[in-house]
Amino acid sequence: MNMDDFLELMQHQIRANTSDRNADSLPAATVAFFADAFRLFDKDQDGYLNMDELKNALSLVGQDGSAENLMAASDANKDNKLDFDEFVEMMKDIDV
């Protein structure tokens, strides 16, 4: 998928799920979509989004100014990188 497809999908998926903040009950298609996005953003493929990768990801959706705040808010185990579970929580909170 190209970036336009991605942004369109992301907006659709997030709007569809804004009323549902429980990761366990996300539809499988949404989880698969988040997994695709996570792999797209995880440039070095180490299974985590570090600050640089997060900034790059956020710049794609026009949120690049808020990377530090989002990292602080989403990094549940405080290792200064986002694992997939933390990423899903962030994606549910982000407003694109």
Assess 36 for contact with Ca ion (CB under 5 A): no
Assess 64 for contact with Ca ion (CB under 5 A): no
Of residues 67 through 86, those in contact with Ca ion by CB under 5 A are: 75, 77, 79, 86
Instruction: Identify whether the C-beta of residue 50 lies closer than 8 Å to the C-beta of residue 68.
Output: no
CB atoms within 10 A of CB 61: 16
Write out the H or E segment, with its range, that includes residue 55: helix 51-60
- The nearer residue to Ca ion, 8 or 44, going by C-beta atoms, is 44
Distance (Å, whole) CA 3 – CA 77: 30
Assess 8 for contact with Ca ion (CB under 5 A): no
Distance (Å, whole) CA 5 – CA 67: 23
Q: How far is the CB of 12 from Ca ion (least distance, A)?
A: 26
Point out which residues bind Ca ion (CB under 5 A). Answer: 42, 44, 46, 48, 53, 75, 77, 79, 86
